[in-house]
Amino acid sequence: MSAPSTRDARIVFDNVSKFYGEVLGVNRVTLAIEPGITGLVGPNGSGKTTLFNLATGLLRPSRGEITVLGVPTDHPRELFRLIGYATQYDSFPRGMSGRGFVTSYLRLHGYRSADARRLAEEAIERVGLADVAHRKVAGFSKGMRQRIRLAQAMAHRPSVLLLDEPLNGLDPMARAEMIQLFRQLAEDGLHVIVSSHILHEVDMISDTVVLLNHGYVVAEGDIRGVRSEMQSHPMKILIRCHRPARLAARMFEETGVVEARLAEDGAGVVFATRDADAFYLLLNRVVLEEGLAVDTVMPVDEDVQSIYRYLIGSEGSAA
């Protein structure tokens, strides 16, 4: 697909609202998203997935208009050619291989068998799954399932990628590999829109961040200035691994970790840090040095909500 012209190289939400009966999804959203990586961030229930479903035409707005590179979202055939969408839902057709998963969606959308196989192989190679794509998706790890969903979303060479919580649950190594791929796609000229409820993730990888709360856009742009004000608010991160006591001991030896305590179930460690960037770099090193098998890396839910309360109160400095 040829690159869009300058005049329509944006994803535009023009005073968009979506209501589910009397329940607010998003309200009065006005955005113009340029090429590059855009982070859509907010607490669970803030409206991120609703915005994605509106942009893909899966939902129609209650009011307002949306165009994707100049195409209205009520033109599904044109829209499909432009958009790749990887949802957050971890479900796949039963018994299907990774290669079959990607190829079947291309066939459903009208590609001839030979073209579907060729495009599927290109996408699978790009996400680093060529050696295992013949295996059933049911046997994939969490990181592999995330990557095969990304391959399916990008296989038809779209100009826009919408990725809903694509880093959720990944270990540090898989997370770093995915982030690098997002950057490569953005360098190729794509719009890469990544949603997350983890502020650090989207701030680390995004050119622009859109902060949502209760269906409203409360801040847009570069929010690093806000994060720099949060040094007095340590971030709490839960890590589950097979030797949590050893991880806690190693991490607590280092500077930047202000607290390390075992989780209530004994299968993880809750850390508090004032420097999330340095913490994640340190975590990668310790995991490799100790040979630890990490299952989960995620912020503590209560801490996520308190951080957003802080940011929303400081939104004037973020906009």
- What confidence tens digit (pLDDT) does each residue in 83-92 have? 999 988 888 8
Beta strands at 36-41 and 191-196: parallel, antiparallel or unpaired:
parallel
310 domain-assigned: yes
**Tens digits of per-residue pLDDT, 147-194?**
899 999 999 999 999 999 888 767 777 778 888 889 999 998 899 999
In the predicted model, is pLDDT for residue 318 greater than 50? no
Percent of the chain with pLDDT over 90: 37
Is the domain of 203 the same as that of 84?
A: yes
Is the domain of 83 the same as that of 189?
A: yes
Is the domain of 241 the same as that of 129?
A: no
> Which of these three, 222, 243, 261, is where a domain ends?
222
Q: What confidence score (pLDDT) does residue 53 get?
A: 94
Is the domain of 110 the same as that of 15?
A: yes
Is the domain of 188 the same as that of 286?
A: no
Is the domain of 53 the same as that of 161?
A: yes
Owning domain of residue 55: 7-222
Is the domain of 158 the same as that of 22?
A: yes
Q: What confidence score (pLDDT) does residue 201 get?
A: 67
Is the domain of 170 the same as that of 214?
A: yes
pLDDT category of residue 316 using cuts at 50, 70 and 90: very low
173 domain-assigned: yes
In the predicted model, is pLDDT for residue 306 greater than 70? no
62 domain-assigned: yes
Q: What confidence score (pLDDT) does residue 156 get?
A: 94
In the predicted model, is pLDDT for residue 209 greater than 70? yes
Per the model's pLDDT, the better-predicted residue between 227 and 13 turns out to be: 13
Is the domain of 231 the same as that of 218?
A: no
In the predicted model, is pLDDT for residue 199 greater than 70? no
Is the domain of 305 the same as that of 188?
A: no
Q: What confidence score (pLDDT) does residue 296 get?
A: 78
Is the domain of 54 the same as that of 196?
A: yes
Q: What confidence score (pLDDT) does residue 45 get?
A: 82
State mean pLDDT over 250-261. 80
Per the model's pLDDT, the better-predicted residue between 191 and 109 turns out to be: 191
CATH number of the domain bearing residue 155: 3.40.50.300
Per the model's pLDDT, the better-predicted residue between 156 and 233 turns out to be: 156
Strand order from edge to edge, sheet including 294-299: 257-262, 268-273, 235-241, 294-299
257 domain-assigned: yes
2 domain-assigned: no
Q: What confidence score (pLDDT) does residue 6 get?
A: 43
61 domain-assigned: yes
CATH number of the domain bearing residue 278: 3.30.70.100
Is the domain of 149 the same as that of 285?
A: no
Q: pTM for the full model?
A: 0.74
CA distance to 71, 92, 137, 265, 297, per residue, from 145 (Å) = 31, 9, 7, 27, 17
In the predicted model, is pLDDT for residue 141 greater than 90? no
197 domain-assigned: yes
Counted domains in the chain: 2
Q: Show the 3-state SS of the chain.
A: CCCCCHHHCCEEEEEEEEEECCEEEEEEEEEEECCEEEEEECCCCCCHHHHHHHHCCCCCCCEEEEEECCEECCCHHHHHHHEEEECCCCCCCCCCEHHHHHHHHHHHCCCCHHHHHHHHHHHHHHCCCCCCCCCEHHHCCHHHHHHHHHHHHHCCCCCEEEEECCCCCCCHHHHHHHHHHHHHHHHCCCEEEEEECCHHHHHHHCCEEEEEECCEEEEEECCHHHHHCCCCCCEEEEEEECCHHHHHHHHHCCCCEEEEEECCCCCEEEEEECCHHHHHHHHHHHHHHHCCCEEEEEECHHHHHHHHHHHHHCHHHHC
> Which of these three, 197, 222, 247, is where a domain ends?
222
pLDDT category of residue 262 using cuts at 50, 70 and 90: confident
Question: Which amino acid, residue 143?
Answer: G
> Which of these three, 222, 254, 280, is where a domain ends?
222
Average pLDDT, the chain: 83
pLDDT category of residue 223 using cuts at 50, 70 and 90: low
1 domain-assigned: no
